[in-house]
Amino acid sequence: MHEAREQVLVRCRKLGQLSAKSIRHVHRHQFAEASSLLVEAQAEAVAVRELIALHPTLNPSYLHDTEKEMVEAACVLAIVLNNPLPLASELGAQTMAYLHGACEAASEVRRFVLDLIREGKMPEAERILAEMDAIYEELVTFDFPDSLTNGLRRAVDALRAVLERTRSDLTLTVSQQKLIAELRRGRNEL
C-alpha cells in the first residue's frame, strides 16, 4: 500500500504538471500541443484512479487537486477554441474536481481576454467573457454546504470578482474605441 501511495503521489504530480503545461500552450496559441498534453494528463488520471481502486484505503483526495487542474486545462482549451465544455464523465473527473476546475478555467481565460483586448479583437473577447459568465451562472446555483462542495462557494465568489474586472476592462476598452472613432470622424469633418 505504501508503494501504491508513492506511485499515486508521483503520478498526481505529473498530472498537475501536464495540465499546467497544457494551459501555458493555450496562452501561446499552441493548441495542438495543449491538446496533446491534455491527452497525456487524462491517461495519468486514469492510471491514478486504477491505483486507488486497487487500494481502497488510499485517500482519493490525493487526486482531487490535480484532477481539478486537468479539468481546468480541458475547459480552458474548449473555451478558447469555442468548443463545448467537456463533461465530467468524458474526463472521468469527480464531480467536485470538475466544478472547481471549470470555475478556475473561467478565471484563467481572463488572461486570454486581456490578450485579445490588446490585439483589438473585441468580438472574440466578448465571446469568451460570455463563456465566463455562463460558467459563473451555472456554478452559482450550487448552493450547498462547504463540507459537500470543498469550498466551491468561495471559488465562485472569487470568479465573480474576476468576471466583473474582465467586464469592466472590456467595457472601458470598447468605450474608448468608440470615443476615438468619434474624434477621428469629427476631425475628418473639419
In this predicted model, what pLDDT tens digit does every residue of 8-35 receive, in sequence order? 899 999 999 999 999 999 999 999 999 9
Helix, strand or coil, per DSSP, at residue 34? helix
Distance CA 113, CA 129 (A): 7
In this predicted model, what pLDDT tens digit does every residue of 77-107 receive, in sequence order? 999 999 999 999 999 899 999 999 999 999 9
In this predicted model, what pLDDT tens digit does every residue of 43-61 receive, in sequence order? 999 999 888 888 888 777 7
* Domain 2-189 -> CATH class: mainly alpha
CB atoms within 10 A of CB 29: 11
Q: How confident is the model at residue 75 (pLDDT cuts 50, 70, 90)?
A: very high
pLDDT of res. 57: 81
The domain spans of the chain are 2-189
